[in-house]
Structure 1
Amino acid sequence: MTVNPNSLQCWIVTEGMAGTENQCIGVAESLRLEPVIKRVGLRQPWKSLSPWLGLETAGTFTPALTDPWPDILIAAGRKSIAASRYVKRMSGGKTLTVQLQDPRISPRHFDLVAVPEHDPTRGDNVIVTKAAPNRISETRLSRARSDFAPLFAMMPAPRVAVLLGGNSK
């Protein structure tokens, strides 16, 4: 049985940090999903409570998370843990929850957890990755190569690149 990815509703839930969000988008793109981005904050007292407690309610999130619930939820970041658990519960268990990065709670709360190999979380539903998921693809690399070729054509070879991080928000 094949599933048309265009028929699946996918949410990406993060707290809006660029690197975290891009990891989730990279996973969605690799699955050919067109996700809806949900940037969540937590209201008090949930902001100060451990996500381990599992006390999420409709009033936990800002903005609110409401139905229709997605088929797939891809999330990363501390604030997304409560959202993953809440959506799973509200959907009657129908939403497939994928948590990227170490959630620091038992992976049994999610359908799938993907962690980098330096994180300690392990389990039957845990995938250990060598690197962070990303949006780099052969198509993107080829397009960038073409776009930037004129800029680098006049520079002597060999060339060295240094990549520096920027603002994470």
Structure 2
Amino acid sequence: MPDPKPSTSRPIWVLAAPGAGDQRQLLTLADALHGEVRVFDEIDPVGTVLVDRVSGAARRTFSGAKAVRYVPPWPDLVLIAGGRSVVDAQRIREASGGRARTIAVGRPWSSYAPVDVLVTTPQYRLPPAGNVVEIPLPLNAPPAVAADARKRVREALDRVDAPTVGVLLGGDSGSFRFGPRAIERISGQLSDFVDASGAHLVACGSPRTPAGALDALRERLGDRVTLFPWAPSAVNPYPAVLADCDALAVTGDSASMLAEACLSGKPVAVLPLHPRRRSRIARALGRLVPETTRNALTRRGLWLPARDLPRLHAVAATHGWVRPLYRLLDGPVDNPPTLESLLEPVLARIESLVED
């Protein structure tokens, strides 16, 4: 990968994102740009953002507490994710005399115009434009493995003499429901897989995982599954499960979790959840509008395509990074994704922008 020119003088500001996955992507990108990074942690409430947009606040200078924090020397690059920081990024650009460039990750929840480079992924279904770079996975590398997490997982699996499959469980989200039907279906699929493959499952819950999901796995699989329910006071085994299991199966509600699994280099299967009714309705309504019209409205910030995680799963499957559950242990992944390969087109576009 062509590495960006190392710089100790290029100032980069990261405006905090409300989602943990988006925030990690911003910090990953900032680190890859080799500048002097400053992170702003405050996140405006939605009401403030709406008022700022309607009132044209992007054309005004900072006031109040922000006037104390957002001061020269102004950055060369401003990194944002989501729609909370678009107005502040515009203010910074105005204050810098037009020098500060905005790099957005995900979707801007606004028109494309205020963004110099928009780094997006397939689930957002954003139409192409000159400032859009679509990459196949989010920039979410697996987290570092702490020694106590690795010890906890290895002690639990000390007597297991079988291939291990980490089962990473999410939960309800804006688009999906992890309810009784999904629990029954997923536990049945995993039970059939274990019967056919002889694998041992290592199921790792999250704060959103319904208790019934782990109970169903325990009931069906007994000692053929090791369970790690979510416990805020306990060592989180998730990074060690990602790193040490032979293969991974993840529920389909989280783009970040899928990216972390694929970037581990292990074979990955997706366990689909049930889409919420409002998600199905939103996609159906979107199909009633001609594509050219939807695309034009999206670029102007007047239409927000419904998030489509199955599209992300399909793209990952096309690359060979995701496979059906019954083929999960068929062998290693050919050409697994790397963080460097995902970053390459993004860094090239940003470097071209800065040079111009």
TM over 0.5: yes
CA distance in 1, matches of 2:72, 2:161: 56
Post-superposition Cα deviations, 1:24-65, rounded to whole Å, max 9, x if no partner, equal 011112223452111233379743337476423312875742
Q: Say if 1:46 and 1:60, in contact at 8 Å, map to a contact too.
A: no
Q: 2:63 aligns with which of 59, 63, 73?
A: 59
Q: Say if 1:25 and 1:135, in contact at 8 Å, map to a contact too.
A: no
- The alpha carbon displacement at 1:87 in A equals 1.0
CA distance in 1, matches of 2:55, 2:127: 18
Q: Say if 1:102 and 1:121, in contact at 8 Å, map to a contact too.
A: no
Unaligned runs of at least 5 residues, structure 2:
171-205, 209-356
Unaligned runs of at least 5 residues, structure 1:
none
1:91 — aligned with what? 96
Q: Say if 1:43 and 1:59, in contact at 8 Å, map to a contact too.
A: no
CA distance in 1, matches of 2:112, 2:96: 19
What secondary structure, in the 3-state scheme, does the structure 1 residue paired with 2:140 have?
Answer: coil
1:125 — aligned with what? 131
TM-score (norm 1): 0.75
Higher Rg of the two aligned structures: 2
CA distance in 2, matches of 1:78, 1:162: 32
Give the structure with the higher percent helix: 2
- The alpha carbon displacement at 1:145 in A equals 9.7
Post-superposition Cα deviations, 1:60-96, rounded to whole Å, max 9, x if no partner, equal 8757422221121111122111121111111111112
In the TM superposition, 1:109-124 aligns within 5 A as 109-119=114-124, 120-124=126-130
Report the CA distance shift for 1:15/1:144 in structure 2 as closer, same or farther (over 3 A). Answer: closer
- The alpha carbon displacement at 1:167 in A equals 6.2
What secondary structure, in the 3-state scheme, does the structure 2 residue paired with 1:69 have?
Answer: coil
In the TM superposition, 1:146-161 aligns within 5 A as 148=150, 151-152=153-154, 154=158, 155-161=160-166
Post-superposition Cα deviations, 1:109-167, rounded to whole Å, max 9, x if no partner, equal 1110111123224310100121111244xxx7xx7498838953724331111234556
Q: Say if 2:6 and 2:35, in contact at 8 Å, map to a contact too.
A: no
Q: Say if 1:40 and 1:79, in contact at 8 Å, map to a contact too.
A: no
What secondary structure, in the 3-state scheme, does the structure 2 residue paired with 1:160 have?
Answer: strand
TM-score (norm 2): 0.39
Larger RCO (CA under 8 A, 6+ residues apart): 1
